[in-house]
């Protein structure tokens, strides 16, 4: 079994069981981007750069769904950012389907809390 360290917002909800409704825990997207996230993040491993923390709802949200223009602007090279409105409009319409929003948790990852820090001084 491979171990990976991901940093989760302390207020994030716990990961639901696989197949249960998504609760915005962020575990799946913090561990590895989905195919849409790979395109937007230009990476295959690590946290998806399109992932956004929603402080009001205390959960993670897919920026491709909630902030498509900002996500596209961040993904495009500086010289092509003038094109952002077109792909952002398309992304905003299709992202829910592409990331399977509302389909339930599809992550089989088993998050574990880090061990508690030692409170004793080494002798």
Highest mean predicted confidence (pLDDT) among 26-30, 68-72, 82-86, 112-116: 26-30
Using 50, 70 and 90 to split pLDDT, how confident is the model at 54? very high
Query: Helix H segments across 42-84?
Result: 63-66, 68-75
Q: What mean pLDDT comes out for the span 97-108?
A: 80
Using 50, 70 and 90 to split pLDDT, how confident is the model at 9? very high
H or E element, residue 52: strand 51-54
Q: Which residue has the higher pLDDT, 120 or 40?
A: 40
Q: Which residue has the higher pLDDT, 93 or 7?
A: 7
41, pLDDT greater than 70:
yes
| 84 in Cβ contact with 73 (< 8 Å) | yes
């Amino acid at each position: 079994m491979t171990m990976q360290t991901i940093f989760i917002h302390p207020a994030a909800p716990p990961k639901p069981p696989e197949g249960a409704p998504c609760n915005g825990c962020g575990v799946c997207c913090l561990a590895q981007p989905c195919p849409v996230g790979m395109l937007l993040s230009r990476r295959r491993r690590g946290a998806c750069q399109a992932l956004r923390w929603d402080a009001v709802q205390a959960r993670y949200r897919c920026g491709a769904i909630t902030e498509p223009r900002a996500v596209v602007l961040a993904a495009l090279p500086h010289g092509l950012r003038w094109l952002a409105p077109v792909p952002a409009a398309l992304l905003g319409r299709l992202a829910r389907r592409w990331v399977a929003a509302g389909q339930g948790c599809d992550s089989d990852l088993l998050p574990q809390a880090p061990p508690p820090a030692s409170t004793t001084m080494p002798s």
